[in-house]
Amino acid sequence: MTWDSNDTPHLLVTDFTTSFGVRHPIVCGGMTGVGRAELIAAVANTGALGFLSALTHPSPSGLDEEIARCREMTDQPFGVNLTILPTLTPVPYDEYVAAIVENRITIVETAGSNPAPYLPAFRKANIKVIHKAVSVRHAVKAQALGVDALSIDGFECAGHPGPDDVPGLVLIAATAKQVEIPIIASGGFATGGGLVAALALGACAINMGTRFMATREAPIHDNVKKQIIENDELATQIVFREFNNPARVARNAVSERIAQISQQPGARFADVAELASGRRGRERVLEQGLMNQGMWWAGQSQGLIEEILSCRELVESITGEAQKIIVNRLSNLVATREVTAS
């Protein structure tokens, strides 16, 4: 059997698509400052699953409004990301949880700290929870807590990959051996080949953040999208390792300065806090397109991103490429009769 461009594509059916009621095993995870209604509705309309970022909004009432905006743009499933991290200014997490429940959201992506305090409220509301984990031990613990699926972040990812530095090729397979619930592979994914590889390693979907930033619907400055296209796989930097909270960001003048200051003897996070400010990154980089005026998040998948597409074009290209690889390339590697040496 061969596949050509005139063939009608079939769906890739996995435990993820059946469990979460979506057409494609592709996720756009929560991205602060990026995961807004324009992008997430576009992702949902392709048949993939996207997550609004709760903490993009300074108050739960802002999240209420964003959920309503998203529902005006799509009638397909979407979720909300709730990232639980220590902050200088206390976050009213209970109020955000209440907003999620009251708005009848059916899927939540939790990240950062242990989600246990909020799981009873989600369970009571029949909300499915996907928890992001960066190690096998954290994945096992999250499964024991009763989450419905896991998003496993390999070292290649943007954001916080954890202190173990284990890339996805090992981490995804190692996690799959230890858990029974669906796994979403995250970190370094941007192509159909990556989706096939993730499925082969035991995942049932992929999560993409950086790749969805380089789409027409992403509500960020065009300079950011163009920079992602220009960057290669080396154009990231690990910061905050000295403060026991390693993070992968795009390499620019600010991230290099943060790294330089952090490596000085006796350095404290306070010494780089102004440079690393999330507000600074959102306002100066994501909104104004001043690429060297703030820290911004991007993964090593930049090296795989060659053009800015619509969300629909992106999802269709990834799923189409994945099916071609499975049907044409991989199936041809399996001999149908005994092969003898000549």
| 165 shares its domain with 37 | yes
Contact 94, 54 (CB under 8 A): no
| 126 shares its domain with 272 | no
| 252 shares its domain with 158 | no
Is residue 300 a part of any domain in this protein? no
Is residue 229 a part of any domain in this protein? no
Closest by CA position to 37, among listed 19, 56, 20, 22? 56
Q: Return all residues near 174 (Cβ < 8 A) that are at least 6 apart.
A: 136, 166
CATH value at residue 63: 3.20.20.70
Is residue 150 a part of any domain in this protein? yes
Interior angle at CA 309, CA 227 and CA 317, nearest 5: 125
Contact 156, 301 (CB under 8 A): yes
Q: Can you tell me the distance from the alpha carbon of 182 to that of 184, in angstroms, rounded to the nearest whole number?
A: 7
Amino acid at 129: V
| 213 shares its domain with 249 | no
| 103 shares its domain with 51 | yes
Mean pLDDT of the chain: 94
pLDDT at 341: 58
Phi, psi torsion values for 153, nearest 5 degrees: -90, 110
Instruction: Give the other-Cβ count within 10 Å of 58's Cβ.
Output: 11
Closest by CA position to 211, among listed 297, 289, 150? 297
| 81 shares its domain with 156 | yes
Is residue 226 a part of any domain in this protein? no
Give pLDDT tens digits for 228-262: 999 999 999 999 999 999 999 999 999 999 999 99
Greatest pairwise CA separation for the chain in angstroms: 73
pLDDT at 1: 37
Q: Which domain holds residue 280?
A: 236-287
Give pLDDT tens digits for 72-125: 999 999 999 999 987 767 899 999 999 999 999 999 999 999 999 999 999 999
| 202 shares its domain with 240 | no
Q: Can you tell me the distance from the alpha carbon of 208 to that of 191, in angstroms, rounded to the nearest whole number?
A: 10
The first and second tokens of residue 143, run together, are 């499964």
Taking the CA atoms of 25, 148, 19 and 21 in sequence, report the sign of the dihedral they define.
Answer: negative
Taking the CA atoms of 209, 213, 215 and 218 in sequence, report the sign of the dihedral they define.
Answer: positive
- Which residues, in sequence order, are bridge partners of residue 185? 152, 206
Is residue 294 a part of any domain in this protein? no
Residue numbers of the chain with a pLDDT score lower than 50: 1-5, 8
Domains identified in the chain, total number: 2
Give pLDDT tens digits for 187-198: 999 999 999 999
| 323 shares its domain with 280 | no
pLDDT at 18: 95
Q: Return all residues near 335 (Cβ < 8 A) that are at least 6 apart.
A: none
Q: Can you tell me the distance from the alpha carbon of 19 to that of 16, in angstroms, rounded to the nearest whole number?
A: 5
Contact 293, 254 (CB under 8 A): yes
